[in-house]
Amino acid sequence: MPMKRWTLANAVLSLVVAAAACASPPDSGGSREAEQEAAVDTSRRVLAEEEPGGIVVDFKDGTSKAEFDAWESEWGVDLEFNSVEGEHTGVTIARDVGDVDAVLARIRQNPAVESAEPLRVYSVPPGEEAVSGLEDSLEETSKDGYTPNDPDYPKQWNLRMIHMPKAWQQSRGKGVVVAVLDTGIAYEDYDDFKQVPDLKGVKFKKGYDFVNDDEHANDDHGHGTHVAGTIAQATNNGQGVAGVAFEATLMPVKVLNHFGSGTSADIAEAIRFAADHGANVINMSLGGGGYSKVMADAVEYARKKGVTVVAAAGNAGRPRVEFPAAYPGAVAVAAVGPSGTRAPYSSYGKELDIAAPGGDKRQGDAGGILQNTIDPRDVSRSVYAAYQGTSMATPHVAAVAALLYAEGASGPDEVEKALFAGAKRMGEQAWTEEYGHGLLDAQASLEALGGGASRWPSMWWALALLALVLLTIRGRERPGYLNVLVRPSFLVPLVLATVGVFFARSWFGGASGVAGDVVDAAYLPIPDWQRIIFGRGKLANPLFYSSLIPLLLSFLAIKFKGIRPAIGGLSLGFAGFLTYAAWSKAPALAWMPFNFLALPWLVVNTLICLIIARAMLRKESAV
């Protein structure tokens, strides 16, 4: 089994983090707390970019160790698989490299190399220290819905903010696997490690420790256990606190060491590991480090495997979402406090997707997120502690994603659509840089999913608009209604433009590469094919959310009259899709100077689509 080699630079960097984290105890006064946060932030800036002398090389699948060993003398580097998963993932690392840029330039010329880059370091976001000994709750427990008997549940304002009591009546995440990529989880009694009491009875799936290269992903920091508790803390057990998806299964995957830092190589392999070993959702409450192609590819890999990846936006309080949350395939999460407004530490920006409770301890210790975790000074000791941060907001979203999968959501696209449709709009805007699509609402997201019915709203809009179009055509020019409805040339484009072939993923869900892209495209309605062409951005492309495609095709119908029924169906499909998008106040559109322009854009283009459909479906135009 390969062992990680730690250089003097690694040790020094980790000690900087440890010194900053230990600068004052959790219950210290305000001035010392401010000093601690400043120290952590300084250390994080030191760690934020690259490990000195470290590189990571991702080889194409099937590249053997014997092959890259033969190239090492030419490259002037000694590469080793990053972990036991290396033979499968192709991820290798080297440390103590002299001229990193020169070595990478040589390596990148080899056609067997998918990517080669400096080894980056990511960490627990700063300012997430614990506060223990909470006495008061911020509000009384509502009796409306399912109320667990956990004695400290009244202190969990965060669960009531996202309407968990009513959401629990519908789903609790049963059968869904959530991988927690973090400092590990206190999930077992092993050597000095002890399972925290409020995780007893929770289901666990075998994970992996990528820091120490073994199968015991135990927590020696406390952050990962706290995050896991928000997802699936044992609930209604008469002890401690509750979790969001308490019937889900947790997969502990350790990627951060006891100082709270880890490498891009470990995180990338862990993402692939989780996707390959049955995870439905991946939670990454970590950040920094800048862009890594190895990690970006891993996120894309997981998404193509049907896994929802959720990550923290960052705690820098600036208008820039950190990686890995900023990767197109990840759901980026900002944090709000008990007041429901963005916490001052929470990062935000154009890549943001959604906001969730992360805590704001300016409003007192009760303003934090309370969960059972370990005392980092004694891994065998259990404590109840309140943390604040986007790390705490992220597991709320990951857990609600688990509830959606348990209710039948078929993949990341459908999960995200329900999450965003159910989110509470902030300032009555469809999307903002501070809150994304809005504040997480578990109950509304489950309602937006609505079982299988959620796939069909735009279809019903299209059929209603079809009736309107046909009734507005003068009597002698009306086509036979039945003749229109049963023609495949009309119906197929209508379905493709409104709901897509949503069942395609269940048939071809394992497809990858170009085939996977084709399946993804067929799975989505035609206006959402922009996600395949332009990437899964956070804003919809207005060229696709418009009448442009039907309009361009209608010019062909001037000469080729036989295609008019198809263009009529397509136009009505677009009209139905755009009408539903406008009615649901989603999505926000890219390139719009003001968010409020999205609604008139959708309405105007719906009207243009109806005019095109009317022209295409008149009797004199039929064949």
3-state secondary structure of 368: coil
Give the contacts of 450 (CB within 8 A, at least 6 positions apart): none
Provide φ and ψ at 155, rounded to 5°.
Answer: -85, -5
Record the tokens describing residue 47, joined without a space: 């760690």
> Residue 293 burial (CB < 10 Å; 0-12/13-18/19+)?
middle
> Catalytic pick from 14, 83, 115, 223?
223
> Catalytic pick from 83, 123, 150, 182?
182
Strand partners, 203: 249
Distance between CA 64 and CA 67 in Å, rounded?
A: 5
| The 3-state secondary structure of 198-221, one letter per residue | HHCCCEECCCEECCCCECCCCCCC
Give the contacts of 142 (CB within 8 A, at least 6 positions apart): 160, 165
Residue 588 gets which letter from DSSP? Answer: -
Q: Is 223 designated active site?
A: yes
> Catalytic pick from 264, 382, 391, 547?
391
Which amino acid, residue 99? D
Q: Residue 525, Cβ neighbours under 10 Å: how many? A: 23
CA 202 vs CA 75, 247, 253: distances in Å: 48, 7, 16
Number of H helices, E strands in the chain: 22, 16
The rounded Cα 554 to chain-centroid distance in angstroms is 38
Give the contacts of 10 (CB within 8 A, at least 6 positions apart): 51
List the one residue out of 399, 177, 120, 154 whose CA is nearest residue 285: 399
Enumerate the active-site residues: 182, 223, 391
